[in-house]
Amino acid sequence: RERSDRYLADLDAEVTTFDSQDRIAAIVNSLTLEDMTDYLTETMTRLEEARLLIYNRGRFETVPTVGRQLDNGGSLEDRGETVAD
């Protein structure tokens, strides 16, 4: 079943040589320590800089572009704070 799934995935990706596993293995084997370090550094930077802005239009005329970062300790209301500044 797994082999047929791989073959079908190859066909779906228009790989008619049915060697995608070998190609992936060759690419993974060619990775260097520097490649992996660069990738992990870039990934960590993206995770640290990632932001999600959630707002409710409510009474505000314009869409906010900045806000206060919340920790994982619950909502502002749970801590007795207000959202409006």
Ordered per-residue pLDDT tens for the chain, 85 residues: 888 888 888 888 888 888 888 999 999 999 999 999 999 999 998 888 877 767 666 776 776 677 666 665 555 555 555 555 4
Q: Is 0.75 topped by the overall pTM?
A: no
> DSSP string of 26-51?
HHHHH--HHHHHHHHHHHHHHHHH--
Q: How large is the angle between the packed helices 20-30 and 2-12, nearest 10 degrees?
A: 80
pLDDT at 85: 46
